Structures are given as C-alpha cells and as structure tokens.
Amino acid sequence: MGYIQNRMRLIRLIRIYPLVVIGLLALVYLLGGFSDQSDQLIPKSALITLLYIFASVVPLLFIIGFIYIGAAGNKVAKASSKSDKFNYQSPFDLPSEQMSGYKLALITGRPPILTGLTGDTYLADASASCSKDVNHVPPVAECECGFYAYRDLDEATFELTVNPGSFLLAVDLYGVGFKYDRGYRAENQVVRGLKKPGRCQHCRTLPAKVFVTSYRMGYDNTTWWQWQFRCTLCSSSHKAADKLSIAQMEKVLSVKIT
C-alpha cells in the first residue's frame, strides 16, 4: 500500500528535521548571520529570512503531507471495507491461507500480561471477545472486534519505532478471519514469540538485560504497572521484586522471548 510507505517516509523525514535545522543554524553562523560585521559574503537579512522560511514552511509541508496521506489512507480503508463485505458475506468464503503476522504489545500488570496498544489484555493463546456487543463472536465484518496482525514485518518494525515501550510479537491467527489492506483480523490468536529489544527501553543506548516494572499514572486517574526491558544501569534503582529475568518473563507470559 503506497500510502503506508509514504507515511513511513514522512515520519523518517520529520526525525531528521531537527538535525537539518541545527546544520542550517551552524551554516548561517559560519556565514556570519549572527555577527554584526558589515563585510559579509551574504547579507545578514537574507540569511535570517532564509531561516524564517525554513522554520515556517517546512513544518507546514509536513502537515500538508500528513493530511494528504491521511485522506489517501481513508480512501483505501473505505474501498477495502466495501470489498470485505462483498467477498466475505458468507463465512464459507473466508480466506483459508495461514495467517501469520506481527503485532505490537505492551507488557503491563502484576503478574505481567500482554496488553494491546488499545489496552485490552490477552493470554498467549486466546480467543477474541467483543467489547461493543456481547452477541458478537469476533471477527464481525461490520465491527472492529477480533485479533489484528500486520502481514508485513517491515511495517510492524516501523510501528515499533513510533510506539516506544512496546514489544514486537510474532503471531498466528486461526479460525474465522478477514484479510484487510495491512494484515489480518481473526477469531483466535497464538503468540509465537516476543522479540526482545536490543537496546535498553529507557536510555536507548546500552544493551538491555532485565525486565523491570514501574508504576504509571494515566489519564482519568488510571494507574498501571508497565514492564520495560532495561540495561543494568537503568534497572539498578528497581527493587528485586520489580524485576524479572528473560526466563522468568517467558514463563509468566508463556511466550518464547528471542
């Protein structure tokens, strides 16, 4: 899907924008944009105008880019939801291919449990339930219920970079399922594995060694325990009771950590 790749590209560009600004500031400084001498190569006013343009026009271009990509995404979603209904009105027409995919999850609570980015918790081997309608046996075409997974590892890996604190899971989906433009939505899910981040999720620099949990304050006075995979230094202030080794976490979640 073109719009997904475009969104990734745009976000990568936004990440390097601060570096470009610092580079530009350095260049303007070297060219004398901040000095009061009059014998400059390029007039000071021209340099300052260039800076102003860069600081205002480029963010505007980013905003326009996001609006454009958002609109393209909505169009694709609309088209695919139409084709969903058209293709899969009867449960016997559902795709029969094996649905192996990837998804993001947080680890929250005590004892730790896999938690979707929307806040629903699930076990390593689970059947979906619908939070909107108790009569639904997920997935229901007109509803959003069911377990979701990306088909594409690259896309899941990219989403991981924009959702700090989350972990990458490899999953198999079974039972009644739908295919949508980014992946699958199905009734049953088995988590095949959790990929441990190479670097500490706190300092993002040192190699991570151990799971630790901290108490988080959310909106509406909600609080929860969130688990992170951290380096020795960033986990040193945690009590022993708030730490789990990789082997211990594997046992509690019943998920292989690789």
Which lies closer to Zn ion via its Cβ, residue 11 or residue 206? Answer: 206
Which lies closer to Zn ion via its Cβ, residue 33 or residue 197? Answer: 197
Which lies closer to Zn ion via its Cβ, residue 69 or residue 200? Answer: 200
Q: Enumerate binding residues for Zn ion (CB under 5 A).
A: 130, 132-133, 136, 140, 143, 145, 200, 202-203, 206, 231, 234
- Rounded to the nearest 5 degrees, what angle is found at the Cα of 258, between the Cα atoms of 184 and 245? 120
Q: Do residues 119 and 168 lie in contact, with contact meaning Cβ atoms separated by under 8 Å?
A: no
Min. distance of Cβ 243 from Zn ion in angstroms? 14
Min. distance of Cβ 203 from Zn ion in angstroms? 3
Tokens for 71, please give them. 């609109």
Which lies closer to Zn ion via its Cβ, residue 136 or residue 151? Answer: 136
Min. distance of Cβ 142 from Zn ion in angstroms? 8
> In angstroms, what is the C-alpha Rg of the chain?
24
Identify which of 121, 107, 114 has the alpha carbon closest to the alpha carbon of residue 227.
107
d(CA 41, CA 30): 10
Which lies closer to Zn ion via its Cβ, residue 24 or residue 130? Answer: 130
Min. distance of Cβ 130 from Zn ion in angstroms? 3
Which lies closer to Zn ion via its Cβ, residue 5 or residue 129? Answer: 129
Min. distance of Cβ 158 from Zn ion in angstroms? 23
Min. distance of Cβ 35 from Zn ion in angstroms? 41
